[in-house]
Each structure stands twice: as structure tokens, then as C-alpha cells.
Structure 1
């Protein structure tokens, strides 16, 4: 199942898990902050932009193959370096040490990074988070609603988007965290426990949702859209980079939008490409897209409000050490400009 967890992270550019590190390429490249301009602040001389991705394919795969980012940035004399990660938290850690300028990641790493004082800005929304995280049960389970989870064993990966979704979801059914027996398991272990009946339910993300529903091993008890508990993902930029090079932030989003539009207009080709890249059945790729289609739009007020609920909850359960105002890190000026003047 490891390959499927990797697929999700690669295709959506974000996921929603906990470990990993920067690639050797990122370590060798010169970050924007580590290479201050010898001329004016607006000069790009000697500048290398470090772009973080989760996995080597997916949405960014075509762009990297065609060198769309390199072509546009090199027009300004700016080089591009790529850094591959397995999840979001290592991305924010790399940003904190000035080794990464751009990243795409889920709501949990964003909240944790802000609480840790890492300087960054959210520059667009990457995923609406309605259906990409869910609680699943066996197809013949007697559990039919959230309230039926009382006294049951529920598998979940602590610190993941699913962890946040599960505990906030319980509240919608009038339950508390103490009303269930949470079994802390990573996806590989949780899959086995789910299949053998070691747990009664599983709070997880795609591709595990799609894999289990496609094979009739499980069914969705509730997802974000049903409970009103969303797990959105975002594109972020290192704060110092945005302050120094705002035009390059806009350019990054323009090329990203070009990549997204290519996928939309070549969907069959793109999905076959993804299936071949990661050696998984095409229906898995197709199913994942129906649950979570990538976007690149300004962060709306209701999304900010939902992210604030996540931050407040994480503070209440002591996963973060201080209260934060998530609106302080949201900056829509770059995506607004990027969408006004799209690349051909």
C-alpha cells in the first residue's frame, strides 16, 4: 500500500501526512534568501527559486517534463530547482531554514507552521477539502451514523488531516473524543486492521477511501462535505521571498495555472499518465479525481473561517502551543493578479 500513499501525495501536490525530508537537489541549490542580490532588491541576478513538490509526478509532472517553470523564470534570468518531499511538515521545515520558497500542502501542516512561528504566506487554495478525507466502515457494518461510533474502535493517524476531521466530526454527532477508542495507526497498519476487523472504522484520506470503496471492502460513513468539516490544501510561499520578489510569486501561480488547465483539457491523457507513473489501476486515479479535483483560486472568507476552526481545535487538544489568527497568513493579491493575466 505504500505506493498508493505516494500516489495521493504526488497527484494532489499536498497531502496530508507527517514525515519526509528535502531532496539532495534542494540541499545543493542556492535558495532565494541565501543568495541576496548584489544590486537592487528587484534584481534577479544569481537567483534560484526552490519549488517543493510531493512526489515526482502528478500535476507538476507534465510541467517539469516540459520545463514550463524553467522557461518562464529563465526569461528573467532566474533558475529553478526542484525539491521532492513525502509530506507537508518537512516542507515548512525547509522553508524555515530558507531552503524552500514554494510548497503545496494540507491544512494541518499550515496551522502547525504558523503556530511554530515559521514565516510564510498562503497564496492560493489547492483543494476544497470536501471529499478527500472521510470516515469509512465495512460495507456490512452496523455503524450507520456518527453517533453509532460511540464505544467503537476507530483507526486514525495522529496529527494527520484525518485526525482533525475525526475529532471535529465526532462533535457533529454529539460525541467527544473519549466516546471512542482511537487506535493510532499509520495507513499500512490501518488497512490491515480495517480488513481483518481489528477496528470498526477508519478515518483516512485518498487513495485509501477510493481503494476500499472500489473493491467493496468499505463504504463512506461521512466525509467533509457531509459533516461540514473541511480539509483544504493550499499553496504557500516563504515570507521573505514574497516580500523581495512579489512578481515571481505571481509568475509561479501563472505557471501552476497553466499546468492545471493542461490537466483539465487533457484529462484522459493526464489520468493515463498518472496511472502509468505510479503503476496503479486507472479507476483508482479516476476515482480520486471525483473526490478531490485540484484548484488554484483565491482563499475565500469561508475557507479562512474553516481553517480557523481547525487551528482553534488543534489548540484545544494541545497539538499546537498557542492560539493563532490564520487570516494573518492569507494573501490573495498574487493569485488575483495571476488569474487576470494567464499564460498562453
Structure 2
């Protein structure tokens, strides 16, 4: 499942979530003598993806109603780091992000666990450069400035690409920026490259002035997309987590088969919409992407490789044991 495009800045997410703090995991009575309805708080999915379709056509509500649950759309989807903080603060129950951001978030007393995984994106993430930049190899980045999001996908992709070529990380200047604030800096030429994922790369590629120097497949990326659940919520409502997983899995299979049906879900105009070449590129990328699946032993090995790499690169002080923060969704009931 592709990470949704943010609708507002990270601050808007946290502000919106804060308003719901007092609600906790409050449940509403469905009537005298009836069981209370479980509310699951999920970031608003925006204009694309499985959850966006589920919100619009009511299919997610219908699926969750079978386990006596309903959705409260809370804030907006965006980078995982602030979402992890919201999970830890009992302001959110479900969030999606990368294993790379996940590893850094796991180093901070996490109150969440991962229960589903989508294989690394082979074509939608990578290192962008301008077509006329003269940067044609990873070695050409030496002495250059590359925009990355600290501790997340961008920093991982850059460090992985450099390590694959035996280039010391300090030979390239990392410019730490939030992903939703980087396009203007990149297009103004204030950085020479941008390590980024599909949420943002598609728009840049669609404008026709940027190209991938390397993509995820070239780098050998282990950057899975993961779905997290607040630990206390999973302990109290495993049946809801299982139902949500089933919905996401089945939806992701359909999305891969017919990507266009999951684009421009609520509007086909304005900054939230994909049009022209960008839409064509997104459809192509989604068709080559993965689907939401249970976490397997093989996945865990790759998760741990990311954690080890981050420790080696001093992104985290120590190697995080990812296995302590995973749920086997196949065993939930």
C-alpha cells in the first residue's frame, strides 16, 4: 500500500490529533443492552489509495461493522515520525509508514507494533536529480548537497546508495528537510539531489525536469511500507486489527490490478489530484508495487538488516531489535 499524499503540514496532523486526546479509545453505546461500538482512529487518507476508496464508498465502514467497529478519521496522513508520536500519546490507533522511519521511532519507547507489510517499492523511490544536472553516477554526488528526511526513507536511500559504492557518508552533504517542504528547495537548485519516495517523486517526474539517478531496485532497498497499531488497542481489540488487515490486503490486490480506480478518489482537480504525465507514472509505479501482506520471517530478516544498517551508519545509537515490535496478524482473532 503506497504511503498516502499528505493534505496538510505535519503540524496540522498533530493539532488535529490533539483535539481527540481526551477521547482515548472511547466507545459509543449502540443502544440499551447492546455492545458498545469500537472506534478506531486512522489518519484521513486524502485523495488516493485503498483507504480513500473505503472512506468514499463506505466499504471500510461495512467491513468494520462486522466486528462492531467504526472509523474516526483523524488529522491527515503524512510522515510516520509524527504519527508514531500520536500513537504513543494515545491520539491515534492506526498509521502507515516505512520501516526506515519505523526503526528510528522504535528507539523511543514505542507504544505501537507493526502488523502488516508491503514489499519495498522498486521503482517509485530513489534519488532524484535534474535532467541537466550532469550527475550521472553515485560517485558524482561526492561534494554535493542531497536533501533527505532525517532518519527516514530519504536518509536511508542516500546512505544505502553510498555504501553500495563504498563512498564514505560524510563525502556527501545531507540537507535535512521535511519531505513536503523539499520540492521548492530542489527546484530552486539549492540542493543537487533529493532522496525521496513515490508520494513526492511522482510529481517531480511528471513535470519532466527530473530523473532518477538510481531507484529502490538499483539500491537494493529493504524499505518496506508497514502498518502500525497502538499496542493497547491491539491487545483490547484484536478482531478489529484482523478485519482492518483483511480489508487492506484485499484492497491492495485490487489497487495493483487497477491503479487508476484508486487515484483522484475525491477530486480530479487541484493540488491534491494527479493529472497528465504524473498520473501515468503513478499508475505504472503502483502496478509494479507490492500488496499488503502478513509479516513473514523473511521480511523480519530484512527489517533487521535495516536496523543493523542504521546502527552502523550511526543514525541510531544501537541496533534496534525489530522483532519485539511485531504482531502476527494471522494469529489474531
> Residues 257-292 of structure 1, C-alpha deviation per residue, up to 9 Å, x if partnerless?
343345345543333537616233143133124334
Q: Residues 58 and 171 of structure 1: is their aligned pair in 2 closer, same or farther, counting only changes over 3 Å? A: same
Aligned to 1:284: 278
Does the alignment pair 1:263 with 2:255?
Answer: yes
Superposed, 1:174-323 pairs within 5 Å as 174-187=166-179, 190-264=182-256, 266-273=258-265, 276=268, 278-292=272-286, 293=289, 295-323=291-319
Does the alignment pair 1:154 with 2:146?
Answer: yes
Aligned to 2:14: 21
Figure out how many residues of one structure are paired with residues of the other and give that number. Answer: 321
In structure 1, distance between residues paired with 2:58 and 2:22: 17
Query: Contact 1:152/1:180 (CA < 8 Å) preserved in 2?
Result: yes
Structure 1 vs Structure 2 CA RMSD: 3.4
Aligned to 2:59: 68
Superposed, 1:314-333 pairs within 5 Å as 314-333=310-329
In structure 1, distance between residues paired with 2:276 and 2:109: 41
Aligned to 1:100: 92
Query: Contact 2:67/2:239 (CA < 8 Å) preserved in 1?
Result: no
> Residues 85-114 of structure 1, C-alpha deviation per residue, up to 9 Å, x if partnerless?
332222222221223222211223321232
Aligned to 1:55: 46
TM score, norm. by length of structure 1: 0.78
In structure 2, distance between residues paired with 1:149 and 1:47: 51
Query: Contact 1:156/1:183 (CA < 8 Å) preserved in 2?
Result: yes
Q: Residues 164 and 24 of structure 1: is their aligned pair in 2 closer, same or farther, counting only changes over 3 Å? A: closer
Structure 1 residue ranges without an equivalent (≥5) = 1-7, 38-42, 339-344
In structure 1, distance between residues paired with 2:249 and 2:290: 10
Structure 2 residue ranges without an equivalent (≥5) = none
TM score, norm. by length of structure 2: 0.81
Query: Contact 1:260/1:295 (CA < 8 Å) preserved in 2?
Result: yes
Aligned to 1:126: 118
